[in-house]
Amino acid sequence: MRILLTGASGFIGQHLLRALLAEGHHVVCAVRTPKTSTDPHLSYVHADFAKDTDKSVWMARLSKVEAVINTVGIFRESGSQTFERLHLETPRALFAACAESEQVRMVIQLSALGADREADTRYHLSKRAADDYLAGLPVRAYIVQPSLVYGKEGSSARVFKGLASMPFAVRFGSAPQLVQPVHIDDVVGAILALLGGRTPHRLPLAPGVTSMRVPLVGPQALPFTDYLARLRGAMGMGRLRVLPLPGALARLMAKFGRWLPGGLLDEEALRMLDRGNTGDPTVIARLLGRPLKTIEEFVTDPQAERTLAKLSWLLPTLRWSIVAVWIATAIVSFGLYPVEASYDLLARTGIPPAWQALMLYGAATFDLLLGLGIAFLPRRRWLWLAQLALIGFYTVVIAFKLPEFLLHPYGPLTKNLPMLAAIWLLYELEEEK
């Protein structure tokens, strides 16, 4: 079957792409940056969901296409990447083109559990509007609605395992906050089953009915903190301590969450969590024809995943502590420590009086810039190397010129050794961009 797949570079899209190719389908990936493929069953076409809101644009891409799978979705808006464009306007143009095409026999829309009549967040409302539009078209359509989808390399799974590995978890408010996590393999398997003609019920679609909503959930609904506890146990860790947070304070934290880059908590996310995220697991189980994966089966390498989970929050903690060291050092050098005493230390290292002010305030400014660079620059590998060189230089000069600091009982100079080791660790683990 020739299939048009949108969102092929996303988490679910990538898994679907591999599975579709493994089953021998020809996949046309609609992406913003097309690639050159050597696989005869894989091709790419340019598409931009932030711009392609005209039906005619999609008609041109549906040549010889028999099925369309739309997996495009965002959790937070950014610039032109809005819910209105990516979840509603462009999918509506795509679905209208599918309905007019004489070749497209099926559309599978990746929606979300909660995109229903009780939806009250912009994320869910935009998904529901697109789902309703598709359901009203004369084309066979399956609207799949997954709960929390777990995959080892998924960003949300990394965050949740990181939360599970922390000394304690926070419970935001008193709502049940039920979730029903489902493994990515089960999600992909269910979509492939629908594509192959299997239905989640014993009978196919009734006469005159062209669409069906299909919940994709795990085998068990449980409170979100219990989900974290189960992940923690699967990684071989002890009992999870839970800190209850009053609802008013939780909502206040959520207001600030929207300003945190990459964070999952904001006001809408908290409302979705409070509402719950559950469905009937027998539907997906019938599609798969096998038992669903349990949370304990999510973690396949406990030791490695436990280490990565801890690093996900320990490394940022270490980075921000070094930011604090550089900024505090700069503030102290700018005048909190007596300036004359600083000049005396510089003189003892061989700096002439005419250069002492420039050296003191120049070094303080450089320290401040280092701290700000570590905090805000996206590429930091060169900064770690600069710090290693700078601290190493300071250590050698002070050891020879001011030996009392080397032999001081508080160890102001020898403490540079763990600082150097921490910076080297951050350099080695920094992703190359």
Tokens of 33: 């940056």
* Contact between residue 43 and residue 63 where contact means Cβ atoms under 8 Å apart: no
Query: In this predicted structure, what is the pLDDT of residue 209?
Result: 61
Q: What is the mean pLDDT of each run of 10 residues along the chain (433 residues)?
A: 94 96 95 89 94 93 95 89 94 96 95 91 94 94 95 91 93 90 97 87 61 93 95 95 87 71 71 88 93 95 96 94 96 93 93 94 96 94 95 93 90 92 94 64
Q: What is the value of pTM for the model shown?
A: 0.87
User: Would you list the DSSP string of 59-119?
Assistant: HTT-TT--EEEE----SS-BTTB-HIIIIIIHHHHHHHHHHH-SS--EEEEE--TT-STT-
In this predicted structure, what is the pLDDT of residue 207? 62
Which pLDDT score is estimated for 256? Answer: 75
The predicted pLDDT at position 37 comes to: 86
Containing 241, the helix (H) or strand (E) segment is: strand 241-245
Alpha helices (H) in 114-182, listed in sequence order:
122-135, 155-165
**41-68 per-residue burial string, b: 16 or more CB within 10 A, e: under 16:** ebebeebbbeebbebebbbebbeebbbb
Helix, strand or coil, per DSSP, at residue 10: coil
Nearest Cα to Cα of residue 218 among 297, 287, 293: 293
- DSSP state, 261? T
The residue assigned the tokens 């935001």 is: 172
Q: Quick one: which of 40, 37, 41 has its CA closest to 20?
A: 41
Longest dimension (CA), the chain: 94
What is the pLDDT at residue 205? 60
In this structure, the strands spanning 149-150 and 67-70 are unpaired
Contacts of 157 (CB under 8 A, 6+ apart): 150, 151, 298
378: which DSSP letter? S
